[in-house]
Amino acid sequence: MAGIDSVDWAGEVLLTTPRLVLRTFRLDDLPAYAALNADPEVTRYLGGPLSRTESDGIAAWAQQLCAAEGIGLLAVERRADGAFLGMCGLHHLQWYPDDIELGFRLAYEHWGHGYATEAASAWLAHGFAVLGLPRVISVTDVPNARSIAVSRRLGMTHDHEADLEDGDDSFRAVVHAITAEQWRARR
């Protein structure tokens, strides 16, 4: 992963929704991002808590992916007060290199307000209408009912289940997918 010193932390606005600003990270986001990545409840189905260094590295990687491809797991900010809520976006997954995955991770205190669905919906629209993606997937640990519910609210349907390995850990995942045609039909 990239070092934080070699990254542009401008906080460039990419998308907006009625309640959210979806943008690249700013340096002042990193402490809050590290706190949510260290929260055992937030990371329960994501391999467990991360260190500050690991969290900063993910943010730096996301910034560089955005600069290179216009995608990335990027900052979510609440418009009303500028609060940093977490991250959402499109990215590549090691297990499915031919697909683009929609991912999101919000601080626990922001769960249950529809922010993940709102941010993810904006990223899907961007992926299909602007980037011309043919299909987007979501990969979720089978017991993660909240994230599966977001995928379903977005119109994604069950594609398959798989046993995946992440380093020394393995987990059972459910993959949901939506094609550009399915997304357009829902609009």
**Where do the domains of the chain lie, and which CATH numbers do they carry?**
4-186 (3.40.630.30)
DSSP 61-100: HHHHHHHHHS-EEEEEEETTT--EEEEEEEEEETTEEEEE
C-alpha to C-alpha distance for 186 and 154, rounded to whole angstroms: 9
pTM strictly above 0.85: yes
Which structure tokens are listed for 66?
Answer: 């955005």
Quick: pLDDT tens for 107-164: 999 999 999 999 999 999 999 999 999 999 999 999 999 999 999 999 999 999 999 9
Distance CA 62, CA 74 (A): 6
> For residue 48, is it left (φ>0), alpha (ψ between -120 and 50) or beta?
left
- pLDDT value at residue 107: 98
| 29 DSSP 8-state letter | G
Closest among 114, 106, 100, 117 to 178, alpha carbons compared:
100
Q: Is residue 4's pLDDT more than 80?
A: no
18-54 tens-digit pLDDT: 999 999 999 999 999 999 999 999 999 998 999 999 9
